[in-house]
Amino acid sequence: MTDIPWSEQFQIAGTDWAEKEAAASLLEDSKSAVMAQRQAALGDIPVNRAEQMVKASPDWIEYVEQTVYARKAANLAKVNMETARMRFQEYMNTEANARTEARLVS
């Protein structure tokens, strides 16, 4: 990735993070709506019983797992974005040190 300008590296990493963050947030924010839809699909039964049945279902467990994996992907994408930022800062520090050394030598 070193041939790609710093700004583009950060833009690529930032876009990836934004997309994954949106996907994770959508799953997290939709959780109560999905629960309500699944409870309603069970018919006219007490809410606590419907919730228990939904939470015990393989579909719900899969939904929760997808939510967790989406959050993990978003977090890893953010780490990649921050790593790109840190690499740029390290590069800038190295350049600044080289300029200072050049001034001291001359």
Flag whether pLDDT at 87 surpasses 80. yes
Q: Is 57 left (phi over 0), alpha (psi -120 to 50) or beta?
A: beta
**Least reliable range by pLDDT among 19-23, 85-89, 97-101:** 97-101
The 10s digit of each residue's pLDDT in 29-43 is 999 999 999 999 999
Please give the model's pTM, rounded to 2 decimal places.
0.79
Q: What pLDDT digit, counting tens, does each position of 38-86 carry?
A: 999 999 999 999 999 999 999 999 999 999 999 999 999 999 999 999 9
- Provide the terminal-to-terminal Cα distance of the chain, rounded to the nearest Å: 34
